[in-house]
Structure 1
Amino acid sequence: MKKILALQLEPSTFCTLKCPTCPRTAFADTWKNIHFPLEKIKRILPLALRAEIVQLQGWGEPLCHPELEGMIRELTKAGARCSVTSNGCLLDEKRGQSLLEAGLEHLTISISGATPETHAALRPHSDLHALMEKVRLFRLRADRLGKKPKISLSFLQQDSNIHELPLAVGLASRYGLDDCLAINASYLPTPDHKKQHVVSGFRSRWAAMRALWVSIRKGQPYIPARMQPKEQAVCANDPLQCLMVGADGTVSPCIFLYLPLISHNAFHPPMAVMGNLFDDDFETIWQGKKYRNFCRAFEVRKEFYEELYAGIGNCSEGRRRLMEAPGIERIFYGNHPVPLPCQGCAQVKGL
């Protein structure tokens, strides 16, 4: 029986915002707005119990789902651990309390700026001050109820906001949050979106160094975005250990490989749909030829990478192997590419 590091379960494809860099905005004409049907949650439970964490998030805003608490309650009652990532717009006092009472273990609040001006530009109609006040009240409410959920701040770093990364770490510290995560906006499917891509260079490195300094000075846990501008054996989303189930039951190895669209055209990114949990059990989907072939491409690359770097010591032979390894990697990856839908992904390129 396969164990899973993270199951990403999409509660809803509806959203309260129209962020300019979101695929939901880019493909608005063909977007499919749906909620995960609560009556189908039992189809998810066997898979959820294999996962270390069930991440309730997707292309929409989870709190748009009117029965999100019911999903959390059913999952936690079965023994799963649940986290929610939200833009925070709907996190009022009543909703916060119901989430806590349902058994939510981890709430991540996502922002796109550490100043009100930048955040509002990248997330129109979202007020950063009001959002952080909601987070503060959520923490107080949890304390009153005797709950200890982890609360994280996720900073979606883009070209126009990367300079505010150190401020985001300071913001997390000011509100006493458990950690601050920097997430690279790596899924940018249109030419206009790609202008917001953060490239590895002086600006991004300087921002990351300053953020680390703020983290050390304030004692604020901080997890930087992975920026290694070279082809990876397996991307950060790791389809060998993680998977995504859409609000319509669609199973995909990665959220970037599935969009809830009514129709597709040449401008839409490639998809990798392996099956539907509303129709088949996960083991049938997982053992299917399509999913096996997809995973095998990454398994071969991972096995090669681990063997290439295994046993390298601090000696002249070890230094020689380290010097030669990148060239050997490039040749191997050229002969053993990732699956076709992944080939344009920034995460495979280490960004």
Structure 2
Amino acid sequence: MRKPHCQKQGSADSSEPLSAEADSLKDKGARGRQQEAVTMGIKKILSAMAPTFDWIQVEVTSACNAACIYCPRTVYKELWEDRHLPLDDFRNLAPVFEKTRHVHLQGWGEPFLHPDFFEMIAIAKAAGWWVGTTTNGMLLSRDRITRTIQSGLDIIAFSLAGTGEKNDTIRKGTSLKKVLEAIQALNRVKKEMGRLTPQIHVAYMLFRSGMNELEALPSLLEGLGVSEVVVSTLDFVPTEELRKEALIPATLEEYKEVRCVLDRLVEAGREKGLAVHYHLVSPGKRRDICTENVQRALCISADGAVTPCVYRSLRVSGTYYDLQGDRVNCERMVFGNIHERNVKDIWKQESYKAFRCSFREGKIDPACQRCPKIW
């Protein structure tokens, strides 16, 4: 007689396989939970190891031995205060450096003027991440070059604003010839010491009147050990005289023309083993993000103030021209000071979180809406 399909299989012959299957399912469930726990543990470890900040820019000094005509320090010299960030204050930043991918030691001043600059490099390097700086190159004696290489500095960028006499006119107090000699000497001593670092970069300021000099740049830097060039245009315009030098395309046609010139520079650089990068303001099209990366980066001024970027760190009450040509006041945006609170607590405070959130939600803070870094 056939057994009905609904009849329970309660014999010993049928219960044993069911029990084994249940045990198997239990084992699989246990292994699954164990694997999930391991995965969560790995994620927690990786999260703890991952840097909180992509970079932190530390203005080790606001003093400078040059007088570049476009620099706020020159334009607002009557209001400017030269100041070194104390070494003890810098040392207190070591814990946050451990959570920072790149520590850049430079603001509105010349970092090699700081008497404790090499000690600062050592402190930042001890955190185990990248450390860089930007210099006008005028203070790099043979001794400083050797110490720079020995310090373990990862990147050093030299500032230029022309490929001929124009550089010395714009960057008063500097000499193109001496800067190139410093780069050449640094590259030579690196080879003598068998070192690969610091990588040598060039930070190139492009004026509208200097477009015709760009073509000579790759050849000028060829053979000097420069690996990368970043071309910037004048986005902070503090005077009426400088407005005509701000390379801010007014039309899409002009934008395409300028971009074509810059793209040719990129290709010419590539042919000589030189990586060239640039940012050009696009007319009428705002970016979704700020190029200063305010959601994962910050700036610490020489007076200890924590600001979202170097542009919002200016300690002056002057004015400048925005992208639309309107004259506006310099407004410093400070979320705290390292003399009073640690960077971690400042970063997590509600006002700072709300500021960063405004960028994620596309409701950019009013103080930043006309900044060239989002265009």
Residues 1:143 and 2:191 are matched in the alignment: yes
Residues 1:283 and 2:330 are matched in the alignment: no
Counterpart for residue 203 of structure 2: 154
Residues 1:238 and 2:287 are matched in the alignment: no
Q: Is the 8 A contact 1:162 1:198 kept in 2?
A: no
Counterpart for residue 306 of structure 1: none
The SS at the match of 1:7 is strand
Counterpart for residue 186 of structure 1: 235
Task: Quote the offset at 1:207 in angstroms.
Answer: 2.6
* In 1: Cα distance, 2:109 partner to 2:72 partner: 10
Residues 1:269 and 2:330 are matched in the alignment: yes
* In 2: Cα distance, 1:219 partner to 1:80 partner: 26
**1:41-93 CA-partner distances (Å, limit 9, x unpaired):** 22211221111110111001111112110100111123232101111011111
Task: Quote the offset at 1:203 in angstroms.
Answer: 5.4
Count of aligned residue pairs for this structure pair: 311
Q: Which has the higher contact order (CA 8 A, sep 6+)?
A: 1
**1:206-238 CA-partner distances (Å, limit 9, x unpaired):** 431331231233232211224433111212111
Cα 1:205–1:69 change in 2 (3 A) is same
* In 1: Cα distance, 2:275 partner to 2:129 partner: 25
**1:227-279 CA-partner distances (Å, limit 9, x unpaired):** 43311121211101111011111101110011134xx3566411211101121
- Unaligned runs of 5+ residues in structure 1 are 302-335
Out of 302, 309, 334, the residue aligned to residue 254 of structure 1 is 309
RMSD: 1.8
**1:128-150 CA-partner distances (Å, limit 9, x unpaired):** 11210111001111222222111
Q: Is the 8 A contact 1:10 1:247 kept in 2?
A: yes
Over alpha carbons, which structure has the higher Rg? 2
**1:4-32 CA-partner distances (Å, limit 9, x unpaired):** 11110111101111111111111111111
* In 2: Cα distance, 1:293 partner to 1:193 partner: 34
Residues 1:217 and 2:217 are matched in the alignment: no
Cα 1:347–1:227 change in 2 (3 A) is same
Out of 113, 131, 137, the residue aligned to residue 88 of structure 1 is 137
The SS at the match of 2:372 is coil
The SS at the match of 2:237 is coil
Counterpart for residue 7 of structure 1: 56
Q: Is the 8 A contact 2:91 2:120 kept in 1?
A: no
Q: Is the 8 A contact 1:19 1:123 kept in 2?
A: yes
> What is the identity, as a one-letter code, of the residue corresponding to 1:180?
V
Cα 1:164–1:40 change in 2 (3 A) is same
The SS at the match of 1:78 is coil
Counterpart for residue 118 of structure 1: 166
Instruction: Give me the identity figure in percent.
Output: 25
* In 1: Cα distance, 2:331 partner to 2:315 partner: 12
Normalising by structure 2, we get a TM-score of 0.78
Cα 1:67–1:224 change in 2 (3 A) is same
Q: Is the 8 A contact 2:248 2:280 kept in 1?
A: no
The SS at the match of 1:131 is helix
